Structure 1
Amino acid sequence: MVEHVLHIAASPRGERSVSAQIASAFLSALAERKAVEIDRLDPWDCDLPEVDGDLLAAKYAGLAGEPLTPGQAAAWDRIRKLADRFHRADTLLFSLPLWNFSIPYKLKHLIDAISHKDILFTFDERGLSGMLGRHRAVAIYARGLGYGPGSQTPEAEFGLEKRYLETWFRFVGIETVDSIVAEQTMGASGAESLAQATAQAVELARRY
């Protein structure tokens, strides 16, 4: 059975980035255990739709139950095709750096572009329901500084990228999430941090 993995590579540094190197180790170890098909989505190298104009109008027309104009339908179809890559995957693999205590803005743009009713979630009188419930997620976070207890940037206040992404996972229905955090990637301890996180990624893949 083939494991379909959508890798959302959210660092503009590409394969040089710490998060991408850890993700690569995870994928290599996973491929040793089973057949893997990888779809790589780089929000820095992707023509992401702007959430305005026809797309925004299509969103509100859909919420109101109104028919879409041809322009609105074309805009909606574009984000549906982008979101289909998420639906087709068995596993969503995110690799990302911490930027200003949150996620990179291109990743936020991608999430904003696809997170709509009847695209990644539904809601009715019973409440909201995510549409990716059969999926699992692996999130790999790279942080230049340390965010542990006693640091000047404790995670509870400054590690917002992990909390944001985990909230989004729950929103779209994903309950099985594995996280790997590489901290203090800058400076003398960077190599050790990379090695430890890489070992965690390989072990996770072997348990998959």
Structure 2
Amino acid sequence: MTKLLFIKASPRGGDSKSAALANAYLARLQDNTPELEVDLLDLSAEPLPDFDGNKVAAKMSVITGQDHDAAQRTAWDEITSMAERFISADIYLIATPMWNGSIPYKFKQYIDLIHQPGLLWGLDPATGYFGLLENKRAVLALTSGAYGPEMPSPAFGVDYQSSYLRFWLNQAGVQDIEEIRFQPTLLTQDPEEDFQSAITRAEKLAS
């Protein structure tokens, strides 16, 4: 059984173009993989805890090899439960718009919560960080209003969206990463035609 974690980062619901791209990819993938198990994580509806002092202290205790006190253990158990949901997936389908050159704040909060030592990564004092995830792949459905790969940068924006996601996934051990882009969504002569072209690319990738 192959498990796919579908992370929706946009709060726009049915108006989200990034989610629409990901949905097109997923529908075609499900046609080809009937046994696919899908876990939907809609960050606009998911209650996320604060990454507070106890969680930071728990993280530092893991890094320094110290035992957790009671408050830290409770905090770390909460983090571990969230991270295990992510770790259990074989495929990550991530739909996210670009906000201020990067990703929506709740998505960043989610990453800050689950991207932890001993769960997604380790650190070797001599060689640096290494990922703990193996045999995973990710598909990024990316949109942005004014920025596009062919648009002058920084005049129309800077892509800290895909670069950050690739950095994060790579550090966790995910190397197999594909992208589906509809960029820009606004500054295009024919938004609907360009969007349909992106949908076609999504379906082709899933095939």
**If the length of structure 2 is used for normalisation, what is the TM-score?**
0.91
Match of 1:26 in 2: 25
In 2, the alpha carbon distance for the partners of 1:71 and 1:150 equals 49
Counterpart code for 1:73:
R
In 2, the alpha carbon distance for the partners of 1:163 and 1:67 equals 35
Q: CA deviation at 1:153?
A: 4.4
Give deviations 1:113-140, integer Å, cap 9, x for gaps. 1111012111234532211221000001
Match of 1:14 in 2: 13
Match of 2:129 in 1: 128
Matches within 5 A, 1:140-155: 140-149=141-150, 151=152, 153=154
Match of 2:105 in 1: 105
Matches within 5 A, 1:172-191: 172-186=172-186, 189-191=190-192
Matches within 5 A, 1:24-173: 24-34=23-33, 35-125=35-125, 126-149=127-150, 151=152, 153=154, 158-173=158-173
In 2, the alpha carbon distance for the partners of 1:191 and 1:85 equals 36
**Structure 1 gaps, min length 5:** none
Higher helix share: 1
Please say which of residues 115-124 and 102-111 is displaced more in the overlay.
115-124
SS in 2 for 1:118: coil
In 1, the alpha carbon distance for the partners of 2:195 and 2:151 equals 22
Closer, same or farther in 2 for the Cα pair 1:152/1:128, shift >3 Å? closer
Count, aligned residues: 204
In 2, the alpha carbon distance for the partners of 1:150 and 1:97 equals 17
In 1, the alpha carbon distance for the partners of 2:154 and 2:206 equals 30
**Structure 2 gaps, min length 5:** none
Please say which of residues 68-77 and 119-128 is displaced more in the overlay.
119-128
Q: CA deviation at 1:146?
A: 4.3
In 2, the alpha carbon distance for the partners of 1:12 and 1:198 equals 20
Closer, same or farther in 2 for the Cα pair 1:150/1:177, shift >3 Å? closer
